[in-house]
Structure 1
Amino acid sequence: MSAKALLKLGMVGGGQGAFIGAVHRAAARLDGETALVCGSFSRDMANSVETGEALSLSADRCYSDYAQMLATETGAGESIGKPDNALECLSIVTPNDSHVAIAKDAIARGIHVICDKPAGVSLSEVEELAALLNGSAASYALTHTYLGYPMVWQARHIAAQKSFGPVRKVVVNYTQGWLASQLEKEGSRQASWRTDPKRSGPAGAFGDIGSHAHSLVEFITNSRMNSLSARLSSAFADRALDDDGEARFNLDNGATGTLIASQICAGDENTLTIRVYGENAGLEWHQMEPNTLTERAQGGLVTVHRAGADKPLCEEALARCRLPSGHPEGYLEAFANLYRGFAHAISQGITPAQAGIPGIAEALRGMAFLEAAVASSENDGAWTDIKAPSVGPDLKGLLS
């Protein structure tokens, strides 16, 4: 029997000293669905080679220029003398301002793309990316990590049941404390680019973690956010982007909600919590206790749903569990579910949405949300419509 064909993965970004690149690599290899074959990990060639060699890559497959990597590694692989090991999919883990340019270059060469969120720094550039994708043989995925958790899928399943009743209210809070001081003035590379509008885009905390909260609301409720009233601010007069914000919002299904995204909550680590209330019950999920979903019925009955491959969960949640109950699975496993799903989508010739993976539709809605939030805040919190970007029939997302 022939060995299973692995998806050949390259990476842009994620060199020595970076955070999220190592997380992507760990997630990608967890299920044995991908193989890292090349990387442009840093503009510093020494850093790129050092990173690659630590990952068992030869120096000739490490680059300081992603464009050179794409030119060398694509096609049948003759240029590298390894036609069975040629690049098929690119993982983009760079700052936001380069996401779209790199993705467009890869897609134009027929290379699939899995990109860190948000998709870019403006809705217009992401719309250009969507236009390029429409009709392309390449696929695109966006790593909204929390959509990989089994209990998030269970929450979506329960919220859709008649017994839960129509969704009426959503409350989502995502708070961290890492920017409670001005780390950008203390040599932090992460803080430096995330507080720079040229690299991060129009929003700071809202772009970094508010985008996750937005995607979680839309996914669990299976409804699009259509308007909002937002206030974004910074704790420091000379910090150019928001580090704190909140928004009221409306959903297409008639529900209303509130969203808080803040990185100045001293002492908070990664406190993402969502509560969804229907006519007859409410749901509550905490990212820092991801294997538990609490359902509270109006009559007082409380049901605690627990993750585990041996639990009575919906099919979609069970498909994202690897272990029996009592064996905690968390962030890396959720991230790995995205990589595994994307690999399956590519091998089976289906769309990311059909594999349960966020893609270009989610990328467009996320950027539309961020631009509406910034516009509303600049207009003293005025209610602002969130643009509903049009996508082709082959690019529909996870919202049915």
Structure 2
Amino acid sequence: MTAETMGGARLRLGMVGGGEGAFIGGVHRMAARLDDRWTLVAGAFSSDPARSQAFGRSLGLAQERCYGDWRAMAQAEAKRADRIDAVAIVTPNHMHHGPAKAFLEAGVAVICDKPLTTTLDDALDLADAVRRAGLPFVLTHNYSGYAMVRQMRAMVADGVLGALRVVQAEYAQDWLASDQTGNKQADWRGDPKRAGGGGALGDIATHAYHLAAYVTGSAADAVSAETSRFVPGRRLDDDVQIRLRWAGGARGQLWASQVAIGCANGLRLRVYGEKAALEWSQEEPDLLRFARLGEAPRTMRRGGPGLSPAAQAATRIPAGHPEGYLEGFAQIYADAADLIGAHKQGRAHATMLPDVDDGVDGMRFIQAALDSAAGDGRWVALHEAGR
């Protein structure tokens, strides 16, 4: 951890969504607390005003800051001398755009769950709102907070791999391998009105795509995609297989599935260059496989010797004491505290955080994949998506 991240006054956090029974809301709250950089002070946690206020009180928030809806919260917080420093948007996808835009217009920085929105038009509108507001906007692609992911990014940027040739990403789960009707988390993810046009595509393929783009420092140029719905009655895809053409000439594939029986959270990235290769798996996040051409592969370990400053800064505990999902998520919040704290003081601050432009790129990826699949796998350039 950096000295800046370990120190500094706590910032005030608000939250929209993440109420009773919401998985990701609890994750955001734990991640925000982990490094003692944030204090949750306000929230609109549910579309039901009574439930929202009751849940806020159960978290120990002051009565007057347990809001019945996000519009009232944005208006009230904008007028307070002790207003929130940022709001975390942790709702289903269709409720990202409206609240995020409202808080930006109220002068509040935003930390938003992924994907950015449900449509490319809304993503572009939100990007315009960020530029008008001149405020920090953080997109919580949490896997970019892992120490060894940042090690990969540094090695690629330093030219250790040489020119990139092949980029392979996959994200395999099995939790939707059968009908999950009645499961709150499955229901909204399978509803086009709340999730958008992609099922596994919007839920997990976006993570795999962002991870690959984050590590390589390059967005994809074009995609050729096939989407499938294997479980009868499902309205959105539960398996996607995508070929990618990367800027700079690299080629690759991305597979994301929520019907891969035996797979829990199988996010993996492999990057092959002309001189060396890297491989990382989320289920063994402390380890990074590194192979130079003509040499035996070796394993690099989080917390071990020879790592980049970026990887060292994202390490909390000594090697051999595993870090993972919550720590990676917490790194996003710690970095966000540094960024937003610097903004409040009028200081420039370099950051590796995913931002609104990454969100727009993610929506271009989703739309291009949907367009390609509708055209029987034809190649679609990301800049032409939705046309």
Q: Which residue of 2 aligns with 1:202?
A: 197
Deviation, structure 1 residue 164: 2.0
Q: Contact 2:266–2:283 (CA<8 Å) still a contact in 1? A: yes
Q: Which residue of 1 aligns with 2:25?
A: 21
Alignment match of 1:345 (pick from 324, 328, 339): 339
SS at match of 1:371: helix
Kindly provide the CA deviation profile for residues 275-306 of structure 1, in whole angstroms up to 9, marking residues without a partner as x.
11011221110001000000122213222111
Q: Which residue of 2 aligns with 1:174?
A: 171
1:18-167 pair list within 5 angstroms: 18-75=22-79, 77=80, 83=81, 85-167=82-164
Identity rate, percent: 42
Give the AA of the match of 2:126: L
CA–CA distance in 2 between the matches of 1:163 and 1:153? 14
Q: Which residue of 2 aligns with 1:212?
A: 207
C-alpha spacing 1:358/1:162, structure 2 compared with 1 (3 Å): closer
Kindly provide the CA deviation profile for residues 37-58 of structure 1, in whole angstroms up to 9, marking residues without a partner as x.
1111112334323322332213
Q: Contact 1:365–1:388 (CA<8 Å) still a contact in 2? A: no
TM score, norm. by length of structure 1: 0.91
SS at match of 1:15: coil
Q: Contact 1:341–1:352 (CA<8 Å) still a contact in 2? A: no
C-alpha spacing 1:114/1:163, structure 2 compared with 1 (3 Å): closer
Structure 2 gap ranges (5+): 1-6
CA–CA distance in 1 between the matches of 2:130 and 2:159? 37
Q: Does 1:248 align with 2:243?
A: yes
Kindly provide the CA deviation profile for residues 355-374 of structure 1, in whole angstroms up to 9, marking residues without a partner as x.
21100110110000000000
Q: Contact 2:342–2:349 (CA<8 Å) still a contact in 1? A: no
> Once structures 1 and 2 are overlaid, which stretch shifts more, 124-133 or 256-265?
124-133
Q: Which residue of 2 aligns with 1:396?
A: none
Kindly provide the CA deviation profile for residues 170-200 of structure 1, in whole angstroms up to 9, marking residues without a partner as x.
11110000111111x2x11111110111110
Q: Does 1:10 align with 2:4?
A: no
Give the AA of the match of 2:187: S
Deviation, structure 1 residue 239: 1.1
Q: Which residue of 1 aligns with 2:367?
A: 371
CA–CA distance in 1 between the matches of 2:57 and 2:69? 17
1:262-301 pair list within 5 angstroms: 262-301=257-296
Q: Contact 2:85–2:340 (CA<8 Å) still a contact in 1? A: no
Q: Which residue of 2 aligns with 1:304?
A: 299
CA–CA distance in 1 between the matches of 2:255 and 2:297? 26
Q: Contact 1:92–1:116 (CA<8 Å) still a contact in 2? A: yes
**Aligned residue pairs, count:** 377
Q: Which residue of 1 aligns with 2:313?
A: 319
Give the AA of the match of 1:28: A
Deviation, structure 1 residue 129: 0.9
Q: Which residue of 2 aligns with 1:394?
A: none
SS at match of 2:377: coil
Q: How large is the Cα RMSD of the aligned pairs?
A: 1.8
CA–CA distance in 2 between the matches of 1:112 and 1:163? 36
Deviation, structure 1 residue 236: 2.7
Q: Does 1:235 align with 2:239?
A: no
